[in-house]
Each structure stands twice: as C-alpha cells, then as structure tokens.
Chain A
Amino acid sequence: MTDTLTLRIDLDSSIPAGRQIVDGLRILLVSGKLSPGSELPSVRRMAMDLGVHFNTVAEAYRTLADEGWLHLHHGRAARVVCRDAPNPTMDQMDEFGHRLRALIAEMLAKGIPAAKLQDDMRVAAEELES
C-alpha cells in the first residue's frame, strides 16, 4: 500500500466542491500532514483528478493563500508556507460561535446526543493540534 497523501471530495454532497477542497486541504494543513515547503499539485492536475472545473480548484487555492497557508506564483506549483497563528478578532470568534451553534443544533435535531458531540470535538481538536 502507498502512503500517498490524498484529498477526497463528494460530488453528490450539498456542500460545493470548492468548499470541500478548501476544508479538506485546511485539515491537512492544520494537522501538519501538509508541512511548510510541501508543494501541491498544479490546478490542472488537481481539477482533472477531482473531476471539477479548473476555476474551482484555482479559487480554493486562492482562499487558502488569503488565509496565509499557501504561496501562489504564476507558472509554479502552490507551495505551503510557514504561517504564524493569527490573533482572531472578536467578530471572527462570534462568527465561529454562531456557525458552531448552528451545526450543533442541526446534529441534535438529527438525534445525535450532546455527549457524543463533545467527545467528537475533543478528539478532532486533539488530532488537529498534535
């Protein structure tokens, strides 16, 4: 078996493909699986593998570059850069709090118990911070 790093998206999902690419890559970046100095596949190659439009991948790369994760240079591969943890603003914290409440409400509405949510959040945070 190969230990090649992969990115998976679900084209049947209601979440747009571009958003899934950003989320998937961000998880790998935060967890350190994609470390500074690593290069990402070209927009063309990534789009072909995922079966999505070039612009979808290009936009996802730009989003991550705006967040400070990637350095983009025309004609060269996107490169992961060293990024200092930013200080979140109050607005950002409010926004994430709102999104989290909305997500928890949706999960509770589907019958997922709160205790499981707490466990899942703790495990995910530990995995990503390690």
Chain B
Amino acid sequence: MESSKGGNGQPIILSGEMYRSVTELLSELLLKTKARVIIFGDMDGHAITQKGNTTGLNVNTLAALAAGHYAATAEMAKIVGETNRFKFIFHEGEEMNMYSCNVGNSFLLLIVFDISIALGMIRIFTNRTIQSLEKFLESQQQMDDKASEFLDIEFSTLLNKELDKTFNNL
C-alpha cells in the first residue's frame, strides 16, 4: 500500500489527532458562519465528521450525494473546457442554501445555512478553513501499519459471524 491519502485502491486513514483537528476547525467555522450544519466527507462519499444541528438529517446519505454531485460537476467542468474543477457548488433554496467545495483532492466540505446568511461571508470563512484543513491533511503521517492493526484476522472472523447473524434467514 503506497499511501494513506486516498485515491483509487488506496485507503484514506484519519488518525485520532487529525480527526480532532478537523473537528475543531469545523466548530470554529460553524461559530463564525452560524451555519445550520457543516459536513466534512471524502470524495468517495463517506461522511467523516459534522458539526451543527443534524436533527432529522441523514448525514451519511447527504455526504454520498454531495460526493456524487461533486464528481459529476467536475466532469461537467472538463466537458465545457474548464481546465480545473469548479471552485464551489452553490444551491439556493427558499429557506436553506447549500455550499460545497473540495478540500485538496480527497475531501469535501458541505455547508447548509439559512438564506439570511450572506454567501460572501460563507465563502470567506470557508476558504480560510479550507486552507487550514489542507495544511493539516498534507502533514498527515503514514498510517499503513495502523490499517493492518485495524483489519487483523480476528476482525474478519468476527465480522463473518456478525454477517451470518444479521443476514440469517433473509
């Protein structure tokens, strides 16, 4: 395994320290923007962490849809001759707006906010947060040995038993 920074066939592994740093940055962003909810996920559609009011909100599904949408938009950029991907995606609603943008090549940030909050403010604070996030994520250490620790033989044996139990008679 070559890297812990994602891409096809390569796992993304977020250490405890990284996770805490990301969560802190999201908390700060939430405080500054007064957004309803902020989700940090990866480009493969996994929700990693979120801040704000997630009551009644299916975060995992939202992250999966956002990643799919982001990937589709990147392809649209290519088709129309935009050499880089679009800088952000904005959805304007009657009550809520949504803003999403990439964090490096492997992650994305999704912000849901009330229409009374100015988009300009969201952009300014989000851009600052992204710069900090990218700095943290670039410094991520090699975690390959951690992956083998996570997925040992005992894990697969127990998973197999759990699958048998869950799928029993279905």
User: Do A and B actually bind?
Assistant: no
Residues of B within 8 A of A (CB): none
